[in-house]
Structure 1
Amino acid sequence: MKEKNRDDDEEREKMVAYVEGKIKWFKEKNPDLHIGDKQYSERTLEVVPGAEPSQDYVSRLEEEGFFSVDRVLEDNELINRLARGAQRLAEYNMPPTFLILYDEVWMLVKALTKLVQSSAAPENEFNGDVLVWVIDPNKDDAGFTPHRDRQPEDVELSFAYGKGFNFARVSPQYHTCWVALTDATPDNSCLYVIPKHADPGYMTGDLDTEDPLQRALKKKDDYQSIRAVPLQAGGAAIFSHRIIHWGSRGRKGPDVRPRISISFAYSKPSFEPNYLLRLQSPSKTFPEVLDRLHLASAQVIAYHDRFQPTIPALRDSYKIFKYFKTRYRHQYRKRLPPEDATEAEGNARDGSSGEDLIEAMVEEMLESEYLIQDDFDKMAAEEAGGDPPDEGDASDRLEATLEDLHDAIEKSTYEEDQEVQSSLISLRDAIRRSKHRRNN
């Protein structure tokens, strides 16, 4: 028992030092942003009013499934600083979702809360699903492909029936606020949506026998219902979990700047509880800095196949999430590497090689829902009229991604090229060995 306590203390001390080093790094890279500065936050919140709700927003959300706001803050100074911060993180090969470490992000969430809760169901609370994009068309970047954010088994029950602004309405129990930190246009990638009235599966659910997009776009004139949602920096789009939406691919050119944006999801706890066990509404108090760090790490892992972070970033994110995983609800944890991956790491640390550790982690990931399914994969499978991708599909997809990353890194000047290439080769070989065992 004493030996175990001693080991736990040593591990805790190492993690504290590691976390302190990470937070110091983020402060140094964005000195014009703040992390855990209560005096700054309290002083500034008094002068950062958010956009006011309106009956028109409520009507548009109910009738079309989305609406847009020209400006969420009276002054865009905070928006501009966040955009610069996300850009800097991307320049250092750091997943831009780590922008949520900074106080300014939570000031933005607080300023938006009144608007988003009054426009959808007031019972919907911020649930921790926050993402940041830096989309650069000159690097062949594009937003997410067409999808719905959630595919509940009973679609009609995923809407609440109540009153807002003195009239009956149907409001989603899950909705997203997508804020443009830079101008988002067709040139550099903006959102496109299929409005509720043009989407037969919006309220009743999608069919197993028909692709949702093909169902909504059967005739040539149906394509005229597709709506672009360009936004100026500081504007926002708010939409339900059922709206089919995607981020476009912009054009290349010296005058095309990256599109930078951030999204926050809100849900009714009975529909989808918040991810962190002790996460409180940002309208009342900001999350602790430590919670922000491991939440960002968890999101990097959960969406790694969409954002494709570098191997070092993915490895660091896993290390942080693993240590703090007990702070998450089981509904969220099952989307991430399973408990056995932790045991695999412990065994590797006791004497196995680094390659054994990587192989064990890959094996566990391929066994779990982690690489096999997410909301987007399920929709894609349903659109194709088939089952979710099997383990072979997952491993093939990951192997192809690693090959692409390896080719790109060989052409880069990234200072950790040698280490990254070594990690990629080890991961690739581990996947191939796992696939060989499965096929024999």
Structure 2
Amino acid sequence: MVGTLVAHEVERREFWRGLCPHMTIEGASAVTPAQVGDTSLLMSDLKREGYVQVPDAFGERCTAPIRDAVTLLSQRGIPLPFAFVFDELWLAFQGLSTFLSTALGADYRALPDFWVWYVPPNENAAGWGPHRDRVQPTLDPDNSPHTLTVWLPFTDATPLNGCMYVLPAHHDPRFVERRWDGDGNNVVHNPQDIRALPATAGSLLAWNQAVLHWGSRGSRLGKAARISAAFEFQRGDRAPFNNPLLDPARIPTFSERLGLIGKQVLQYRHMYPLSDEVAAVATTLFERYMPRTMITLRG
């Protein structure tokens, strides 16, 4: 369990390499571009539906190592965002640069907001409940996004192991009102408007951050766990929605990753019970390694 770890163990590359020898840390691996198809069609869907879904964006060569690493972290009781100590997750999201440049502009930035899930197929497990990633305005009048959440499944995501559900933007009265905060902002008035998004391993899902979405509950009828990760991005010509903004073309150093992971564990503690031991490790990493500035903001 991570509660038996101390910060100086977590800070050692050797610890992580010994845990997952098939993964790399500050290696020289090349980025494999995701297969996303016609980005103009994706943008049309993104503006109307509020989300896009592309099957087979990544192959097994990309998904298998990450799936195995996250499974091992789950078995050891280590908070799953620690999967981001490894290069492979950063490389996967870097592979989406063509899509992200189309959606957010060539100077898009990565936000210091990411997470990893392991949802086993049983009734006690579920993804995050209905929510909008941001309730402040993050859209142009035509629904071009200022921010995006990108969600990648590394196993098949099904209704029996926590696949994503959304209320498509064109069925959501909040998109007519242009107001996404306040009471009832996570209520679906017509359940038939809900859309399930089962996805095969290696798919790309992305949504604007006003979209109402959630992960479903697992079931003993499911065949395998749902393993996935998400990362948030924003336009480069908007003020930061969180700090520090990251250059998506640069993978953070090992020590910077530790600081960023500590930040995730602390900022999402409202989603998960957090032991005093884990909180102490995350706080130490955040205070010792969290980069305060990672890019020079433009004009």
Q: Give the TM-score taking structure 1 as reference length.
A: 0.60
- 2:146 aligned with 1:181: no
Q: 1:141–1:309: structure 2 CA closer, same or farther, 3 Å change rule?
A: farther
* Alpha-carbon distance between aligned partners in 2 of 1:244 and 1:35, rounded to the nearest angstrom: 35
Calculate the aligned-residue CA RMSD, in Å.
2.3
- 2:81 aligned with 1:85: no
For residue 182 of structure 1, give the secondary structure of its aligned residue in structure 2: coil
Counterpart residue type for residue 99 of structure 2: L
For residue 277 of structure 2, give the secondary structure of its aligned residue in structure 1: helix
For residue 135 of structure 2, give the secondary structure of its aligned residue in structure 1: coil
Of 55, 68, 72, the residue aligned with 2:57 is 72
Deviations 1:226-250 (A, max 9, x none): 0001100001211001100001002
Equivalent pairs counted in the alignment come to 285
Deviations 1:257-292 (A, max 9, x none): 211100010112424355336x322x2x21111111
Report the Cα offset of residue 224 of structure 1. 1.1
For residue 212 of structure 1, give the secondary structure of its aligned residue in structure 2: coil
* Alpha-carbon distance between aligned partners in 2 of 1:242 and 1:49, rounded to the nearest angstrom: 27
- 2:48 aligned with 1:63: yes
For residue 250 of structure 1, give the secondary structure of its aligned residue in structure 2: coil
* Alpha-carbon distance between aligned partners in 1 of 2:123 and 2:83, rounded to the nearest angstrom: 21
Contact 2:134–2:210 under 8 Å retained in 1: yes
- 2:231 aligned with 1:264: yes
Give the structure 1 partner of residue 297 of structure 2. none
* Alpha-carbon distance between aligned partners in 2 of 1:313 and 1:51, rounded to the nearest angstrom: 38
Q: 1:101–1:191: structure 2 CA closer, same or farther, 3 Å change rule?
A: same
Of 147, 151, 154, the residue aligned with 2:131 is 147
* Alpha-carbon distance between aligned partners in 1 of 2:143 and 2:90, rounded to the nearest angstrom: 28
Q: 1:122–1:227: structure 2 CA closer, same or farther, 3 Å change rule?
A: farther
- 2:195 aligned with 1:205: no
For residue 271 of structure 2, give the secondary structure of its aligned residue in structure 1: helix
Counterpart residue type for residue 240 of structure 2: E
* Alpha-carbon distance between aligned partners in 2 of 1:170 and 1:230, rounded to the nearest angstrom: 24
Counterpart residue type for residue 198 of structure 1: H
Report the Cα offset of residue 121 of structure 1. 4.6
Report the Cα offset of residue 31 of structure 1. 0.5
* Alpha-carbon distance between aligned partners in 1 of 2:168 and 2:12, rounded to the nearest angstrom: 42
User: How do 1:331-370 and structure 2 match up within 5 A?
Assistant: none
Give the structure 2 partner of residue 367 of structure 1. none
Of 34, 42, 46, the residue aligned with 2:24 is 34
Of 292, 299, 305, the residue aligned with 2:257 is 292
For residue 275 of structure 1, give the secondary structure of its aligned residue in structure 2: coil
Counterpart residue type for residue 287 of structure 2: K
Counterpart residue type for residue 51 of structure 1: Q
User: How do 1:158-177 and structure 2 match up within 5 A?
Assistant: 158-160=138-140, 170-177=143-150
Counterpart residue type for residue 223 of structure 1: P
Deviations 1:359-392 (A, max 9, x none): xxxxxxxxxxxxxxxxxxxxxxxxxxxxxxxxxx
* Alpha-carbon distance between aligned partners in 2 of 1:264 and 1:304, rounded to the nearest angstrom: 17
Give the structure 1 partner of residue 292 of structure 2. 327
Give the structure 1 partner of residue 266 of structure 2. 301
Q: Give the TM-score taking structure 2 as reference length.
A: 0.87
Deviations 1:129-180 (A, max 9, x none): 111111123371211111110011xx3xx3247xxxxxxx541101111000
* Alpha-carbon distance between aligned partners in 1 of 2:157 and 2:15, rounded to the nearest angstrom: 29
Report the Cα offset of residue 124 of structure 1. 3.3
Contact 2:48–2:143 under 8 Å retained in 1: no
State which structure, 1 or 2, has the greater radius of gyration over its C-alpha atoms. 1
Report the Cα offset of residue 96 of structure 1. 0.8
Structure 2, unaligned runs of 5 or more: 1-6, 295-299
- Which protein, 1 or 2, shows the higher relative CO under an 8 Å CA cutoff with sep ≥ 6? 2
Q: 1:79–1:36: structure 2 CA closer, same or farther, 3 Å change rule?
A: same
* Alpha-carbon distance between aligned partners in 1 of 2:181 and 2:111, rounded to the nearest angstrom: 28
Which aligned runs of 4 or more in structure 1 are off by greater than 6 angstroms?
none
* Alpha-carbon distance between aligned partners in 2 of 1:241 and 1:206, rounded to the nearest angstrom: 10
- 2:114 aligned with 1:130: yes
* Alpha-carbon distance between aligned partners in 1 of 2:231 and 2:66, rounded to the nearest angstrom: 15
Structure 1, unaligned runs of 5 or more: 1-16, 162-168, 330-440
Give the structure 1 partner of residue 91 of structure 2. 107
% identical aligned pairs: 26
- In proportion to residue count, which structure has more helix? 1
For residue 95 of structure 2, give the secondary structure of its aligned residue in structure 1: helix
For residue 239 of structure 1, give the secondary structure of its aligned residue in structure 2: strand
* Alpha-carbon distance between aligned partners in 1 of 2:181 and 2:143, rounded to the nearest angstrom: 22
